[in-house]
Amino acid sequence: MKQLSGLDAAFLYLETPTTFGHVTGLMIFERPSPDYDPYAAVYAKFASLVGALEPLRRRLVEVPFGLDHPYWVFDPNFDLDYHIRELHLARPGLVDQLGEQVCRIVGRPMDRTRPLWEVYVIDGLADGRWALLTKYHHATIDGASGMLMLQIVTDTQPDAPPPGEGPSWEPEKLPSTAELLGRTAGHLARNPFLALRVQARIVGRLADAAGIHSVSSAASRAGDAVKWAAQLGLRNRGSRPNVSLPAITAPPTPWNKTISAHRRFAMRTTSLDNVKRLKDATGSTVNDVVMAICAGGLREYLLAHDALPDRPLRAMVPVSIRTGDEADPWTNRVSAIVAELPTDCADPVERVARCRKAMQDAKRTHELVPAAELVDLSRYSSPVLATAAVRLASRLRLADRVSQPFNVVISNVPGPRQPLYFAGAKLCHQFPVSIVTDGQGLNITVVSYLDRLDFGFIADRELVPDVWDLADMHVAEITRLFEATGAQWAQPPQPPSPRRGPTQKPVKKSVKKQKSTTGRR
């Protein structure tokens, strides 16, 4: 029996009838032989891993009245058949049909009385391939531990031996209400003092960064410390670069509103070698180029919808704070930075330069903040207050009335460079499917694998109905960058995977009576 950290539990508290806290990955495999049975292979593999991987066998036990963070308990009623599911696409099995199935799966909450994971074997893809959709709650894993899970589930050789039975494990008895309340009473008695100790460490870190070396000198130099923190190093102009703080709020966009329970998902792939050519041509990093691709794609989308703000958008970028020394890898160790996206800039090359500077500034700001201590401090938050606040904000639709601190979440996750296999089936792509929340109806996640970058676009179904167009605009931005920089393609651009057709908004009736038309969905 193990209690969730405050950050792990936060992904439970953010859930509402329209917001879900699970993250999903879509892996596409080549079929090694015509008689290959992907469902049997997936079932055998996960059956062998249940005893080895805690996240697969542990379920939640929530504290009565939300007085404390929940606990993990090895499920006494574990049922592997519940977690492994199979479905087939109708012909012709095109990429947007696969995306629609993903939307339906991610648009359903997970059952908290069972371990918080599901896997879906999806067959019937047009090219004879098959897909594996993994759905884990964010309370269980973050991006880095998700990559660890990928390494455990897959093999590095196509002829790896079949999985065995796996280690045995013992289920746990569910704790009684009295036991949970007894534990809670002890935690509530200690938490104020523990929280003060964490706060003291935070103050110490900030003091060290500002050059304050003793408590007695803190009062006399408080004014200097405040000025130093606000200017982020302007006291030492000779050794520290100028860092400008971003705006407090982000400009409005069509997707920065209250979301529904329904999703749209699009996926696209590009060559990693081509992105590296752009990196070399602009003197930036791969991540800078990815951010510039997103800035250009979002700019084109907003221009097409006559909704481009005159100020740059702001992106929240998750950052792992793992050290590698964590005793428990199956927990969240993640922070975030906020950087400007130069969507107000028409020059593609200048957008790369501005993305590079914005990321550098954001990283310097992040280094000033003791992220690990802030994560620890979340352990002492009130679950009942956190849940009530999120649900009240959702009911009042505050996202429609209040400016957001950022416009979009953009993640760039480095993946493996060697081929991976699942029971002999070669992994071709791994498309990430992340989370959207009220006020943040669009999420863009990029994962590298072998020589390519796989983009996953998840959005609210009503706020971004044409998400496939948005995805294609991101791919088109790569061509614009090559044309603007004069760089040579490492690989010729490939046509996108075919789909049935563009998804369009229904045409609303005007005041005058007109024949209504709808696009195919």
Backbone angles phi, psi at 151, to 5 degrees: -65, -35
CA distance 456 to 459: 10
Catalytic residue among 83, 137, 138, 429: 138
Long-range (24+ apart) CB contacts under 8 A made by 275-283 are: 275/453, 275/478, 276/490, 277/482, 277/487, 277/488, 277/489, 277/490, 278/352, 278/478, 278/481, 278/482, 278/485, 278/487, 280/487, 281/485, 281/486, 281/487, 282/349, 282/352, 282/353, 282/356, 282/485
Write the burial class of residue 41 (CB in 10 Å: 0-12 exposed, 13-18 middle, 19+ buried). Answer: buried
CA distance 311 to 251: 7
Peptide bond into 246 cis (omega under 30): no
* Vertex 440 angle, CA 437 and 445, to 5°: 95
Answer left, alpha or beta for residue 17, where phi above 0 means left and psi between -120 and 50 means alpha.
Answer: alpha
CA distance 288 to 241: 19
Long-range (24+ apart) CB contacts under 8 A made by 185-193 are: 187/68, 188/67, 188/68, 191/380, 192/380
Q: What is the DSSP string of 78-144?
A: --HHHHEEEEEPPTT--HHHHHHHHHHHHTS---TTS-SEEEEEEE--TTS-EEEEEEEETTT--HH
3-state SS, residue 476: helix
Task: Please give the structure tokens belonging to residue 326.
Answer: 């964590």
3-state SS, residue 73: strand
CA distance 505 to 521: 9
138 is catalytic: yes
Residues assigned a catalytic role: 138
